[in-house]
Amino acid sequence: MERRQPPKYGRQLLPVLVLAGAALGLWAAWLGWDQRRDVHPDGSTTGPYEAWQVIGLVLSLLAPVYWAASRRYFPGAVLGAPVGLTVAAFYDWSDDASGLFVIGVGLVMLGSLAATTAVSAVIASVQRTGPWTVAAE
């Protein structure tokens, strides 16, 4: 009996969904619990996120993006994390009455799309040539 392969779009959609789910979970783990702004003695406010939280989120997302890109699931590597981060940002920031949160969500989408594209391109390039390959002169 011949074993049938799933359609190509199904094999490419699964990594997108996996990375989107990972991004949602990592957003919740790193940023979802911190919702208060910090008020300083001079009256200025910062936050709600600290730099170490955002850095932790970005570094944590490198593993699933590397996983997808190294297995040549480029749509998943490039689109998965931005989809998850965009949905998480929209959900987290949508209670802003001014409506300006949409600009922030758009910036999250564009920035994460640019970053995952660059990281995926670097991974693909390194895998094609090998990290220790010396170019012939």
What is the residue type of 101?
Answer: F
Q: How far apart are CA 73 and CA 12, in angstroms?
A: 6
Residue 1 within any structural domain of the chain? no
User: What is the extent of the structural domain holding 27?
Assistant: 8-129
In eight-state DSSP terms, residue 4 is P
pTM given for the model: 0.82
Q: For 53-81, how does the pLDDT look when each residue is reduced to its tens digit (9 = 90+)?
A: 999 999 999 999 999 999 888 888 999 99
The answer as to whether 2 is a domain residue is: no
Q: Which residue in 98, 96, 112 sits closest to 54, CA to CA?
A: 112
Domain-embedded: residue 47: yes
The predicted-structure confidence for 38-56, as pLDDT tens digits, reads as follows 888 888 877 788 899 999 9
Q: Measure the N-to-C terminal CA separation of the chain; round to a whole number of Å.
A: 52
